[in-house]
Structure 1
């Protein structure tokens, strides 16, 4: 239409999963799909365009419109998905679990860049057949430091594995805000641990090199909360941009 600017974007399109819970806006309150602003700012800072993916009214086919998938934190994964009975401290949202598991499996199958944070890392592990510790303080009382008080982030120091995405982007040692009471137990086939805290808690997982499944990183900590360090988001958005270019090249060859 004359007079309207052309809609041209070179920014990778990043799908972002959402919470589904009560919220308020203006004079209203009710169920809503929400995302903490820290995730949105982190994607934007890294050069990506965030597109929200609520767990209602969508399906894995939406990935055909995206260049990367960010699976964010939130409630615990329902233990029925990995064959366990619920712990008294486990609080889950099965509808959201179904959605996030489906998107994660589809992204893995498509070789789409995938960044999975906190609950997202647990979703990635469960999606591929792994299991979770439902309450880390049962194993190590000092694990309370990972979630020191409601709404208060802890801090975790960790060491990365040579040859990993985590090592490439963060170096040998790094630290990050964290907030969790669960963690990875049995790591799924096809994933390898690429960062651990000093107490052995799994802090990052990635695809095994022979898997050929593409760029994927799951982290137990919360890098979006560190606005001074966007290295992980930068690596993710760069991978999404490369994925978009390869897909465009395949489309041109097919035509």
Structure 2
């Protein structure tokens, strides 16, 4: 692919990335101001994205995400190895505890819930499927960061140091690294009300045939239902689930390797 083609693809992608939870609809004028594109360039991209079903608009209204997103999500649910292999582990957790169990994938510098189950009548969750979570707060992000290579971990710590300090992980990058070493040794992370007030998160990493984590499996449960012994028991179970799921993903990958 030529440099020009790569640049065009990145600029096209940037149009999709302006859509966030805070801004679900954009007019062309607002996009031009946000992206700095000329009118002809923007309209060319909008035409391409609308024809592909990735964007849609009604007369005299702004653009929103289109139906192709829903179609892709349907295909993702059917094809994602993490979701397909992880579902039984989620079911097992919610069958034993009054909790919500989640599978959270890590990509770039984001973590995103891709699947969940709940045995709670009115589950409390600040981050349902599809809503990005903060990497620097909560057990899920910690369970992933603790297993990252140092060359990847240190820049992330420095970038999110304010949050790390706020939740008591340490006042310096070195202190945070020591806290994460303890998580790594335990094999799972625990956080008390850092993401959702009153909820304890217990999470362990998931690997895909490599040494770096790709996801986390997590049990979130009301703090009123657990004590230290129960949290440790859930932690051991979550760690085992993460290990078995990692093995299943690695086996699946080897089966598809020529």
* TM-score after normalising by structure 2: 0.26
Name the structure where helix makes up a greater proportion of residues.
Answer: 2
**Rg larger in 1 or in 2?**
2
* TM-score after normalising by structure 1: 0.26
Name the structure where strand makes up a greater proportion of residues.
Answer: 1
Instruction: Determine which structure has greater relative contact order: mean sequence separation of CA pairs < 8 Å that are 6+ residues apart, divided by chain length.
Output: 1
